[in-house]
Amino acid sequence: MLVEVMCDKFKDHGRPRGRISLKPGLNTVMGSASGSNSIGKSTFLMIIDFIFGGDDYVEKLTDVQTEVGEHRICFAFEFADGKHYFYRSNVDYKNVQKCDKDYQPIEDGLISLNQYLSFLQTHYDMNLAGLTFRNAIGRSMRVYKRETLDEEHPLHQAKQETAKSAIEGLLKLTDLYSGIEAQSKITTEAKDKYTTFKKAQKYQYIPFVTKQSDYDKNETRIAELTEQAEELARKSSGGLLDLDSMQAEQLSILQGKLSNFKRQRSRLLSQLRAIRVDRNLGKKGFKRNYDDLLRFFPEVDLKRIEAIEGFHKQLAGILKKEFSETEENMQAALDLIESEMKQIEAEISQMAKTTDLSKVVLEQYAAIDKELKMLRAANENFIKTTELSNTAKAYEAELDRLVVEQIAIMQQEINSKMFDINNTIYSGRKTAPNLTITDASHYTFFTPRDGGTGAQYKGLVVFDLAMLAITRLPAIAHDSVMLKHIEDDAIEKIMELYAGTSKQVFIAMDKEGSYTKKSQEIMEASKVLQLSPGEGALFGRTWNDVEVDQ
């Protein structure tokens, strides 16, 4: 378990806070009697999440990173094989440093965050099918600014996570995923194959049609083209039948190249004509006889006009040179294209001679053959797409069936445990929260006949306590933002449940005097950190006060 936390930036009225010792059961971070905000209660819980592999301390508490600057969070775990010391920096936070007992880095002790999480997973005995340590514990770290405070979606660890992924996470934590792991893998592979094939069609790497009606039209056209090809073969005295597949393929390729070169030639000729028109427009000279101009405008500045005319002549000279160079380059390209076209036409003519067929017949056949191949490929790909889609749907349906089977087991156990915990809190006077998972992709969580804020947050507490009891989950964290909405008598019972677990519970509370005497006693006995405004804040100061000049 986590036994201590330390940071040299933690201060209490100017003095280092030193090592903060933690214990099994409840660990309370206590705020002020007045309920002061921004003193570090939630920040400390976010640091606990940071120790358990989260990134939100760095990525979401940007004010802390700015005001405190670079710092290291030092911490120790104690397991059956002894104590293990580490630190994690808010700068190089994707790595974790192994340390000695004085938190000095040991040689070659820098490990990746994933390696560190693997260490925790092994030492907490959480090597279950499909489970990762962070995926498991991150869902129960319910701290302000984390996306786990959604009282209607306790399974989610982030808003963008799908319900399907959240349900799978629960199956993994309850060790029921092994029964569906193989089916889940094959379903994912089938969906990936379908998606990849669809993308290839979308970007036109392969011919395709998307509707059955288009497929049927293609089949009709294929029949027409096949008949045309057969008719062409009959009219050519069977010469086309002598074309082997390689010759037909070669003819199709040659015809395609010829069509491409014809398009390029047409485009170049259009550009060349445009250049020649522009060049001829630039040949118009500038008249130097200004007699008529002076007769009507005797005050005109002839020197200025001559200077402008000189600039125009200079510009015309530059453009003439550019037009000439461009025209030469385009003419060279045009000559090359026409040379290639002649060579291709010669090859087609040669093929006509060797097969005793006219060039016209060969070109007709090539066009028919090309269209046939495209239509057949499109229809074959439609069939393949349909098959891939049906396979993916069938596998997903089977996965849903298996998930529903496992869910029935899990749901009954969770709801039964929540019922017991809720009865302990309310002595059977109030309804318990209920988790209903309808299928692999949908679930609801609510307290029947009680939609109040306090009941909703109480539901989160009860759910997490149930998960602590029936799974290998090692710790949970509950912020004051969810606990303060729950009525005092219920808080007293919840405190007893927190304190009674052998696992670790981290909570933040304030206004200690406003709770029942029993609750205050439990808070005091479980207190690991006392915070207050100003110099009593977690980092020895607060930075949200406006400075007023006196």
Mapping DSSP onto H, E and C, the string for 233-265 reads HHHCCCHHHHCCHHHHHHHHHHHHHHHHHHHHH
Nearest-5° angle of CA 15, CA 21, CA 26? Answer: 125
Lateral strand order in the sheet of 82-89: 20-21, 2-6, 72-79, 82-89, 95-99, 105-112
Out of 173-182, 291-300, 340-349, 449-458, which region has the weakest mean confidence (pLDDT)? Answer: 291-300
Provide mean pLDDT across the span 51-60: 97
The pLDDT tens digits of the residues spanning 361-382 come to 666 777 787 888 888 888 888 8
Residues ≥6 apart with Cβ < 8 Å to 528: 20, 21, 22, 23, 27, 28, 29
pLDDT value of position 66? 95
The pLDDT tens digits of the residues spanning 37-53 come to 789 999 999 999 999 99
Instruction: Judge whether residue 401 has pLDDT over 80.
Output: yes
pLDDT value of position 550? 34
Which pLDDT band holds residue 116 (cuts at 50, 70, 90)?
very high
> Are 463 and 445 a contacting pair, CB within 8 Å?
yes
Provide mean pLDDT across the span 189-195: 88
pLDDT value of position 188? 86
Q: How far apart are the C-alpha atoms of 422 and 419, rounded to whole Å?
A: 5
Q: How far apart are the C-alpha atoms of 513 and 520, rounded to whole Å?
A: 7
Which pLDDT band holds residue 321 (cuts at 50, 70, 90)?
low
Per-domain boundaries in the chain: 212-382
The pLDDT tens digits of the residues spanning 80-93 come to 999 999 999 999 99
The pLDDT tens digits of the residues spanning 238-296 come to 444 455 555 666 766 777 787 788 888 888 888 878 777 766 654 444 445 566 666 66
pLDDT value of position 463? 98
Q: Determine how many CB atoms are found less than 10 A away from the CB of residue 11.
A: 17
